[in-house]
Amino acid sequence: MATPSLIERARDPSERTLAILLLAPAFALLALIVVYPIGKLIWNSFFDLRLSGGSGAFKFVGLLNYEDVLKDKDFWNATKNTVLITLITVPGALVVGLGLALLANLPFRRRWPVRLALLLPWALPLSFAGLIFAWFFHTEYGVVNDVVRRLGGLGFEPQTMWLLKPNYAFAAICLTIIWKTSSFMALILLAGLQMIPRSLYEAAEVDGASRWQQFWQITIPMLMPSIVVALIFRTITALQTFDIPYTMTKGGPGNATETLAMLIHKTTIDYLDVGYGSTLAVCMFLLSLCVTAVYLRRIGKE
Amino acid sequence: MKRRFLLGTLALVAGLASGAADAQTTLRVFSGGANQRPDLMRKLFDQYQAANPGVKIDIETGGATSELQRQYLSTVLNAKDAAIDIYMIDIVNPAQYFGAGWLEPLNAYVGEPASAMKPYLPAYAQANVINGKIAAMPAFADAMFMYYRRDLLEKHGVAEPKTWDELSAAAQKIQKAEGDPNLQGLSIQGAPIEGAVCTFLLPYWSQGKDFNDANGRMTLDKGAAVKGLNQWLGMVDAGVIKKNVAEVKTPDTVNEFKAGQVVFAINWGFAWDRFKDDKDSKVAGKVGVMPLPAMAGGKSATCVGGWQWAVSAFSRHKPEAAKLVQFMASANAGKFLAAEGSLLPTIPSVYAEPEVVKAVPWFKDAAAVVLAGRSRPLSERYGEVSDTIRTTTSAVLARTKKPEEGVAEIESRLARVMR
């Protein structure tokens, strides 16, 4: 006698009630901590909620905040920076992370020092990483300028002000983010690498495939599901980049390295403009949603 | 079973809390960061507790800088948290916090502004009264001072400079004669921190210009603002100010001056004790204080800072809290803070008190500086005012923006905010 399938059991009224009862607490919790805040955020974005008062404060303004966002140069600047950081650091971390994962997957006699080295940057809080790298890039006290000087200048002017020039500051931030996040990439990819059966490589060797061919024909295709998962996670966190630029440059010089999350924080916490801050947050939410949808469609196709 | 246990615990906690309230009022005070000397505040609180047995005072500290404290307090107050009764806040914050309805007006407890605020220096009497309501009471004063190496000026026969150009020339003369490539002529704060607002305003004000009128409306003279920023950039080009000035924060100036690497330094009042008392200070006994230079034809002006005591609008013990605030803002408390921690008094007569003169002789010079001090723009939207000025000033000093561009940006952004 076969056990009833899930669908058959769901049709049974008594089972259905039980299922709903069992799921209800989880849904209630989810509604409380996810649906309610997002709903409230969207609701707030239709109001003028400048906490420090002023005429017209605490009134419904319809889509006015959204009109302002479209005309807001700071918003477009922050969006550009956020997208650029994502486009640079996500592939960057993938390449470095893959390299690290392949390295860690080599048959070391002792694996734990390698694994530990891989874990450490990931375990470090983001703001620590930002503060440490800010010291590295400091004009006078930083190790970067010292190394550059010892190597004969490398074509840079002496005492380059890394964090005070827009392009250098941007590059320094991207480098820090790649350093910080590639270990997370490497961990996921390492798990994927270890799931690839050895027999595939043995068979390929029998057929005379080179190491290079093995990498492209076996490793990469077998690793694809892990790569996609790592990319989704990393892309979403990259769109929310805050800690590292905040601690390294505070968005400076000017607002050359200000990201969307920083602009939202500034508007809400420093300017106490909760309505406009919510509108910016909704826009950032939509951006994340679009990017996630693209990934999910790709996965769906596969 | 579990629920009954929970209810039982709640009842017990509630019972304890109300029981405690009958016997004693506990006031929780946010007392700023280390530079606001919570250790000395604790001593004053102990005095108050001894005189008022029904009151117990808990202290909470946090945030090393004014910006960090502002972020923390904005979060706590926005959540209408009743846990903290009294806040120590920066002079730039009463307008914003009072506008947001976070501070209890103190008129009902301390009297009307005309009498209650009369003893204090004008800058503090003005900053703490908003639309006729007392939003906070002054704790202690602060101002930007010009510190200098008296030994070096004497050694090279240089008089105290009266204008920025004279200062630049004096610094260059000393730098050249000393021949030390690490010796900076002048140290100012160019990083996008609160101090950079003063860095923008000092050379502007010293041309006799106002940034805002009495109603908080902006009265920016663009030409003068550009001239002020160019004054700094000219000194960077001359090697008087170091070229990475846009990275310099308040502690950097203090540490570099302490290490003997700076001839002139602009910094807050707390720096004096660091130069004089710190074990790693190489300049103890060699430091002088003078009024800030002016632009040729202008007049000396400095940026006042300072800290205030405010009662939370969400406090459950407002009368008790207001009474404590009154004590902390009194002349006696001011005298104690001046003598023990060289914190500048907000009441002019305290500067002349014999105990104070004996403990901190330099206060006789300081009084004039603080009295001539000017407030940063008082605005309900000070967060935006400060952010715009400091970010732009820092970008100009980093030379990613021309002074003309920076000033135009300040004007266009603040035209909407300060009207």
Question: Which residues sit opposite B28 in a β-bridge?
Answer: B58
Output the pLDDT for position B56: 95
Mean pLDDT of A224-236: 90
Q: What is the Rg, in whole angstroms, of the alpha carbon atoms belonging to chain A? A: 25
CATH number, position B82: 3.40.190.10
What residues of chain B lie within 8 A of the CB of A138, using their CB? 247
Distance, CA of B340 to CA of B359 (rounded, Å): 8
ipTM: 0.82
Which residues of chain B carry a pLDDT beneath 70?
A: 1-23
Do B82 and B203 belong to one domain?
Answer: no
Which residues are within 8 A (CB) of A280 and not within 5 positions of it... i.e. 6 or more apart? A69, A75, A260, A263, A264, A267
A1: confidence class by pLDDT, cuts 50, 70, 90: low
- Give the Cα-Cα-Cα angle B255, B259, B264 (nearest 5 degrees): 80
Angle between helices A73-104 and A112-123 (to 10 degrees): 170
What residues of chain A lie within 8 A of the CB of B384, using their CB? 270-271
Distance, CA of B65 to CA of B72 (rounded, Å): 11
| Domains along chain A with CATH numbers | 77-254 (1.10.3720.10)
Do B270 and B125 belong to one domain?
Answer: no
Do B18 and B66 belong to one domain?
Answer: yes
Question: Which residues sit opposite B312 in a β-bridge?
Answer: B103
Distance, CA of A285 to CA of A262 (rounded, Å): 14
Sheet with strand B145-149: strands edge to edge: B184-187, B262-267, B145-149, B287-290
Distance, CA of A256 to CA of A80 (rounded, Å): 10
Domain around B245? 143-301+378-417
Do B366 and B310 belong to one domain?
Answer: yes
> B53 to chain A, minimum CA–CA distance in Å?
37
DSSP alpha helix (H) spans, B206-249: 222-237
Strand ranges (E), chain A: 47-48, 59-60
| Residue pLDDT, tens place only, A54-102 | 666 678 888 989 999 999 999 999 999 999 999 999 999 999 999 999 9
Interface of A with B (CB under 8 A): 50-54, 138-140, 159, 161, 163-166, 250-256, 266, 269-272
CA-CA distances (angstroms) from residue B9 to B15, B23, B83, B152, B337?
A: 10, 21, 21, 69, 44
| Residue pLDDT, tens place only, A100-159 | 999 888 887 777 888 888 888 888 999 999 999 999 999 988 999 999 999 987 888 888
Do B313 and B174 belong to one domain?
Answer: no
Do B366 and B413 belong to one domain?
Answer: no
Q: Do A252 and B387 count as a contact with CB atoms less than 8 A apart?
A: no
Q: Which token pair is A23?
A: 């799921």
Do B44 and B156 belong to one domain?
Answer: no
Distance, CA of B59 to CA of B69 (rounded, Å): 15
Distance, CA of A253 to CA of A81 (rounded, Å): 13
Output the pLDDT for position B21: 45
Do B295 and B208 belong to one domain?
Answer: yes
Residue type for position B412: S
Do B197 and B252 belong to one domain?
Answer: yes
Nearest to B395 among A252, A270, A271 (CB): A252
Number of domains forming the structure of chain B: 2
Output the pLDDT for position B318: 95
What residues of chain B lie within 8 A of the CB of A270, using their CB? 67, 70-71, 74, 383-384, 387
Q: Do A252 and B99 count as a contact with CB atoms less than 8 A apart?
A: no
Do B180 and B281 belong to one domain?
Answer: yes
Distance, CA of A268 to CA of B9 (rounded, Å): 37
Do B359 and B273 belong to one domain?
Answer: no
